[in-house]
Amino acid sequence: MSLSTFGQLMTVPSTSPCHEPSERTRAAGAGRYLLRFESLFHSGRGLSFPCDARGQVVMDHLSEQARENYLFARAVVGHEYATPVVQCCDD
């Protein structure tokens, strides 16, 4: 299975606004942006992951479940999810 080069991210609910980043996320320079994988089949549903401005975060900061969700979303881009988009979370 070939994975894209978007980076490594953490899952947050798709209906959640940008959340306050953890100390580890803040130290990695991530959390002000979300990488959004929009579902191709369920309008308004998808997966979002805190990231930097380029769509990258450190996988070491993910829980096991978040890492699995992220890797799944990347693997099924074009089949289950649209190409991810970086969204700014600044107020």
Section 57-77 average pLDDT: 87
pLDDT for 12-53, tens place per residue? Answer: 333 334 444 455 545 445 458 888 999 999 999 999 888 888
Do residues 62 and 9 lie in contact, with contact meaning Cβ atoms separated by under 8 Å?
yes
Asked if residue 68 has pLDDT above 90, the reply is yes
Task: Answer with the residue of higher pLDDT: 38 or 10.
Answer: 38
Section 77-88 average pLDDT: 95
Residue 73: name the closest of 44, 38, 41 by CA: 38
- Can you give the length of the chain in residues? 91
